[in-house]
Each structure stands twice: as structure tokens, then as C-alpha cells.
């Protein structure tokens, strides 16, 4: 019953449309809202700011589910080898320590 | 190109200026607007919401840069069209924040008779102007609800929306260059490029037979307005029934391939296990994410809502069939199911459709009820979640509990 109803609709939708906007292209621009560096205090915070905030907001790290230090090491490895993040090898332990610390804290406001 | 890429020094300098700002995730909420709880198992589950992105209403902020904005469930309570100011936003790499229409070109090349570089007017006049209403859904929609949890963008179920897309057929644009014999796939690239040399650009390809479909578009219109920067100005690909990873935004290059696509975002990521696996599985074969399975959601009630004992109860929501028209929606509980009434077919096979069901009398709590969609091909939402390591293509029946009082 419902199957039949879709057939005329399909024909209609793919027909030329009178109501469509005429394609007139104006320049477009956008100002993104401020991107606050919302990294809670903790050991290794500076290493994270230096190495991990150029390509994406800190929320990328902070929203992750709780994972092991090994998993953090492998995520950092992926940033480096796949996305070519210029990460200072010497900073990796501090970054891991910070992420593990932050993930052990209760969620702010929860 | 290299000049705009990141050196280690530039990375540190960029970070330095940002370091002035507020120190906590909760602080971000206070600064931006409200907070919303996405009920992600084990957390973190709270996300700030903000109306601060130009052209957007109140959106859930998963990330400011590159923007990842989730649609609050409340936006799905009415109608089948998601307004432009509520449609989710997803960028893998930072997109340009300014595009000059007159300077924009779309290069069509690869396995073609004659490579061409098209202006926006060339594209707009490449063929008949057509529209299609279709659900645009991120492959990772609902990832944050995976159990066990997986890393990646922690979306609730709001990385989707339904809009009317207007443009010309991709096949008419391809005809400007002429597809050469032996063509296999068509690949798209946008203006969003990696910040670092050697990192993979976000490029995606579809098989030639899909590219030639009558409803696959190079679109400039979204709900009768020009695409905004956040949604891919000036042009994006639209592939009804397929996950939005293929709906490449800020379209700048169309490349016809005569072989398989070995680029990162097709060959190595956006892939699913070929067969169901368990979370401890290693080294399993994978297939690319392509078409969408059916889904249905309750929008009239949230988990934990209180309903009136002894009174009738009306439940409502949205559903879509994925890559085929919706056939039916059932309300399912533990050991029972009730068919729902579908609303009018306003948008065609790839659109949201509303459903409703009235329960004559509430006799007690409703524990773990959900809605289950089936499409005309017989694909139906599973009761058990098909876990996969990247949390793709979630379409398990979503359950809520209602308390009677």
C-alpha cells in the first residue's frame, strides 16, 4: 500500500523545479566563533597545547571515552604518521599523562 | 600551497595565542550558551550548545575548529525538513572561511575525453535544474552511543537531517568533459585541504553507475537557499540514500578514475567489517561504508519522561528507509509490537517521513520501548547493535523508558 505512494513522488521530485532558487552565486564568507582553549589544568597541559591544538579544538581530545595510556599513545602515533602532525617525540609521555589525568577526573558540571 | 601549510613553528605560534582563553570544558559551555546531555554511556556526555555560528540556530558543539555541530533532537519534532539553521555540520579538515564566486572553478579531469575547468555559471547551465529531498546523515551518526565505546567524533543521533537539494545532475556536468571508455569511478575533492604536507586530503569516490544516476546532483541549493560556507558553498555533491561522507562540499575537482580508488578516505577509512565481528576481533576484511540502512526515532518523548497513568498516549517521530523508501514502522517493547501510522509521503523515498501511534490507555511504565523501521527492500532495524570499531552506520532500535504516574 505504502509502496505505491512513493512512485509518483519520485517522478515529481526529479522533475525540473520552478520554485528552485535561480543559481546566482554571491561571494560567501564566515567568521568562526572564538575557540577557547578549554583544557583543564593538569600535568602536561603545555605539551598538549603545543602539540595538539593546531589542527583541531581541544574538544577533539576531551570528548573521547576513557581509554588506556596505550590507546592514547596509538592515537598520537596516528596523528603523527597519518596526519603528519609535527609532534615532539619527547613530549609524548607528558601528553599521555595529561590525557589519562583528565579522563580520571569527574566530568565538569556532571 | 605549501605556504599555507603548517610548520612546527606556526603550530606553536597558533597554539600560543589561543592559550589566553578559559580553562575548562564547562567554562566553554558557560561562554557559549547552554549545555546538553547526550547520554553517552560512561561519558563524557555533556556538550555546550551555541547559536554563535553564523547562519545557525542553537547547535550542539562537538568541535569549533574544524566545525562539528550536532542537531539537537528537538529540531526533529516537526515536519520532515530540517531547517538550514539546524542542519548538522561536519568538516574533517578546516575549510576556507571565504570563497569568491567569480574565481571558483571546478576542474573535471582524469579519464575524460577533454579535461575542462568550469565556472559556477557553466555548472548551473550544464543541464536541467532539479531538486531532490534527501536525508544527509554522517556515517558516524550515533557513534558516541556505541558499547563498548570507540574513539572518533562522539556524536549522539543528531548528525543527520533532511533537506531539499537543488542543482544539476552530476552526469550533465560529466558530459561537459565526456567520460572516457573504461571509466570506473568518479572522485570528488573540495577546497578543504590538510594543514600539513603529506597528510591525506579528504577526497571520496563513487562507482560510475551511481554517478550517472538521475538523482545524483552537483547542488548549490539547500532548502531554497544558497549553500552556506558551513554546508559547502558554492557546490556540494548529493547522493540520495548514501552516507554524507560522499556528499563532498566546496566541490573543486571531479576526477574520473579508470581503476580502483586507493586514496586514504576510501581505501583505509570509512570502512566496515565485511561480516559482523566482536570487539576483540583483529585483521578482518572490510568494505567501504556506502548506502544507509533504515532508521526511526521517537521525537515526542525522551528517555525518562513521565506519562499519565490511565490516559491515552500518543507517540510520534521520524523515520527514513535509507537507500530505499520506508515501508513501515513498528513500536516494539519486550515481547510485543504495534504498527505505527505513517504520515503523508511528502518528500519521496529518500526523505524523512513522520510516524505516529496512539496507545489507548497507559497501564504502567514502558520499559525499553523503541521504534523499528523497515524499507521496501526488506531491510529492517536490528534489535542488537552491530558493533564495529569505528562506530559506523548505527541503526540498532533506539530504546527509551517512560514512567507512568
* ipTM reported for the complex, 2 dp: 0.90
pLDDT of amino acid B36: 95
**B43 assigned to some structural domain:** yes
Does residue B342 sit in the same domain as residue B386?
Answer: yes
Do residue A83 and residue B196 have CB atoms under 8 angstroms apart?
yes
Does residue B190 sit in the same domain as residue B338?
Answer: no
How many domains are contained in chain B?
A: 2
pLDDT of amino acid B281: 95
Do residue B99 and residue A2 have CB atoms under 8 angstroms apart?
no
Top residue of A11, A22, A29, A54 to mutate, by most chain B CBs within 10 Å, is: A54
Cα B149-B154-B160 angle, rounded to 5 deg: 120
pLDDT of amino acid A8: 42
Which residues 75-104 of B are in CB contact (within 8 Å) with A? 93-94, 97-102, 104
**B120 assigned to some structural domain:** yes
Residue of B nearest to A40 (CA): B24
Do residue B224 and residue A20 have CB atoms under 8 angstroms apart?
yes
Does residue B378 sit in the same domain as residue B240?
Answer: no
User: DSSP letters of B355-388?
Assistant: EEEEES---S-EEEEEEEEEETT--B--SS----
Structural domain boundaries, residue B343: 295-404
pLDDT of amino acid B14: 37
Does residue B304 sit in the same domain as residue B206?
Answer: no
pLDDT of amino acid B69: 98
Provide the terminal-to-terminal Cα distance of chain B, rounded to the nearest Å: 64
Top residue of B15, B150, B238, B378 to mutate, by most chain A CBs within 10 Å, is: B15
Q: Mean pLDDT for each consecutive 10-residue tract of chain B (405 residues)?
A: 42 35 38 83 95 96 97 97 98 97 98 98 97 98 98 98 98 98 98 96 98 98 97 98 98 98 97 95 96 98 97 98 98 96 98 97 97 98 95 98 98
**B107 assigned to some structural domain:** yes
B320 bridge partner residues: B295
Query: Distance of CA B57 to CAs B47, B82, B141, Å?
Result: 16, 12, 20
Does residue B186 sit in the same domain as residue B62?
Answer: yes
Does residue B249 sit in the same domain as residue B325?
Answer: no
pLDDT of amino acid B169: 98
Domain A35-110: CATH architecture, name and number where available: Orthogonal Bundle (1.10)
Which residues 134-153 of B are in CB contact (within 8 Å) with A? 144, 149-151, 153
Does residue B153 sit in the same domain as residue B229?
Answer: yes
The rounded distance, in Å, linking the Cα atoms of B362 and A52 is: 52
What does the pLDDT look like over B329-350, one tens digit per residue?
A: 999 999 999 999 999 999 999 9
The rounded distance, in Å, linking the Cα atoms of B1 and B356 is: 53
Does residue B398 sit in the same domain as residue B315?
Answer: yes
pLDDT of amino acid A107: 81
Question: Which of B100, B131, B196 shows the shortest C-beta gap to A17?
Answer: B131
Do residue A109 and residue B46 have CB atoms under 8 angstroms apart?
yes
- Does residue A17 register a pLDDT over 60? no
Does residue B225 sit in the same domain as residue B259?
Answer: yes
B353 phi and psi angles, rounded to 5 deg: -140, 145
Q: What is the CATH number of the domain that holds B394?
A: 2.60.40.650
Cα B70-B315-B354 angle, rounded to 5 deg: 60
**B229 assigned to some structural domain:** yes
Does residue B250 sit in the same domain as residue B318?
Answer: no
What does the pLDDT look like over A41-53, one tens digit per residue?
A: 999 999 999 999 9
pLDDT of amino acid A13: 53
Contact criterion met (CB below 8 Å) for B187 and B288: no
Using a CB-CB cut-off of 8 Å, the residues of chain A touching B120 are: 23, 25
pLDDT of amino acid B10: 43
- Provide the edge-to-edge strand list for the sheet that holds B306-307: B306-307, B399-404, B366-375, B326-332, B337-339
B353 bridge partner residues: B319
Question: Which residue, B231, B252, B269, sits at the end of a domain?
Answer: B269
**B288 assigned to some structural domain:** no
Q: What is the CATH number of the domain that holds B79?
A: 3.90.420.10
Does residue B121 sit in the same domain as residue B231?
Answer: yes
**Shortest CA gap A27–chain B (Å):** 5
Does residue B194 sit in the same domain as residue B113?
Answer: yes
**B290 assigned to some structural domain:** no
Amino acid at each position: 500500500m505504502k509502496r505505491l505512494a512513493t512512485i509518483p513522488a519520485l517522478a515529481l521530485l526529479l522533475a525540473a523545479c520552478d520554485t528552485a532558487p535561480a543559481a546566482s552565486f554571491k561571494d560567501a564568507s564566515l567568521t568562526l566563533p572564538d575557540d577557547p582553549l578549554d583544557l583543564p589544568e593538569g600535568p602536561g597541559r603545555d605539551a598538549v597545547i603545543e602539540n595538539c591544538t593546531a589542527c583541531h579544538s581541544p574538544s577533539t581530545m576531551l570528548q573521547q571515552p576513557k581509554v588506556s595510556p596505550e590507546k592514547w599513545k596509538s592515537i598520537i602515533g596516528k596523528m603523527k604518521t597519518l596526519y603528519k602532525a609535527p609532534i615532539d617525540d619527547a613530549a609524548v609521555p607528558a601528553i599521555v599523562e595529561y590525557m589519562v589525568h583528565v579522563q580520571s577526573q569527574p566530568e565538569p558540571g556532571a | 600551497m605549501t605556504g599555507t601549510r603548517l610548520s612546527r613553528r606556526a603550530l606553536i605560534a597558533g597554539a600560543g595565542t589561543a592559550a589566553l582563553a578559559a580553562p575548562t570544558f564547562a567554562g566553554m559551555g558557560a561562554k557559549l550558551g547552554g549545555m546538553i546531555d547526550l547520554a553517552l554511556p560512561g561519558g563524557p556526555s555533556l556538550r555546550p550548545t551555541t547559536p554563535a555560528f553564523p547562519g545557525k540556530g542553537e547547535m550542539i558543539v562537538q568541535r569549533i575548529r574544524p566545525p562539528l555541530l550536532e542537531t539537537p533532537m528537538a529540531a526533529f519534532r516537526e515536519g520532515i525538513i530540517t531547517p538550514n539553521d539546524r542542519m548538522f555540520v561536519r568538516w574533517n579538515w578546516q575549510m576556507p572561511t571565504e570563497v569568491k564566486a567569480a574565481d571558483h572553478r571546478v576542474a573535471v579531469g582524469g579519464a575524460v575525453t577533454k579535461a575542462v575547468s568550469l565556472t559556477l555559471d557553466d555548472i548551473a547551465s550544464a543541464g536541467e535544474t532539479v531538486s531532490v529531498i534527501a536525508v544527509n546523515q554522517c556515517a558516524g551518526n550515533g557513534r558516541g552511543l556505541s558499547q563498548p565505546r570507540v574513539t572518533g567524533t562522539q556524536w549522539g543521533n543528531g548528525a543527520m537531517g533532511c533537506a531539499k537539494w537543488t542543482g544539476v545532475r552530476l552526469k550533465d556536468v560529466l558530459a561537459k568533459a565526456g567520460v572516457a571508455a573504461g571509466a570506473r569511478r568518479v572522485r570528488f575533492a573540495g577546497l578543504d585541504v590538510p594543514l600539513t604536507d603529506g597528510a591525506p586530503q579528504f577526497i571520496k569516490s563513487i562507482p560510475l553507475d551511481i554517478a550517472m544516476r538521475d538523482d545524483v546532483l552537483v547542488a548549490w541549493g539547500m532548502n531554497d537557499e544558497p549553500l552556506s560556507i558551513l554546508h559547502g558553498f558554492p557546490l556540494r555533491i548529493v547522493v540520495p540514500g548514501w552516507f554524507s561522507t560522499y556528499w563532498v562540499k566546496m566541490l573543486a575537482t571531479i576526477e574520473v578514475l579508470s581503476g580502483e580508488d586507493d586514496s586514504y578516505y576510501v581505501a583505509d577509512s570509512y570502512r566496515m567489517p565485511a561480516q559482523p565481528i566482536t570487539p576483540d576481533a583483529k585483521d578482518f576484511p572490510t568494505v567501504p561504508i556506502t548506502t544507509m540502512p533504515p532508521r526511526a526515532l521517537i521525537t515526542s518523548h525522551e528517555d525518562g519522561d513521565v506519562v499519565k497513568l490511565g490516559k491515552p498516549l500518543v507517540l510520534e517521530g521520524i523515520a527514513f528507509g535509507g537507500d530505499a523508501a520506508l515501508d513501515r514502522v513498528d513500536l516494539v517493547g519486550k515481547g510485543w509490537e504495534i504498527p505505527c501510522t505513517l504520515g503523508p509521503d511528502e518528500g519521496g523515498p529518500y526523505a524523512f517521513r513522520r510516524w505516529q501511534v496512539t496507545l489507548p490507555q497507559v497501564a504502567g511504565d514502558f520499559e525499553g520501548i523503541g521504534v523499528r523501521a523497515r524499507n521496501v527492500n526488506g531491510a529492517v532495524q536490528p534489535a542488537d547493535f552491530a558493533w564495529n570499531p569505528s562506530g559506523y552506520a548505527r541503526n540498532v532500535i533506539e530504546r527509551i523508558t517512560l514512567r507512568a504516574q
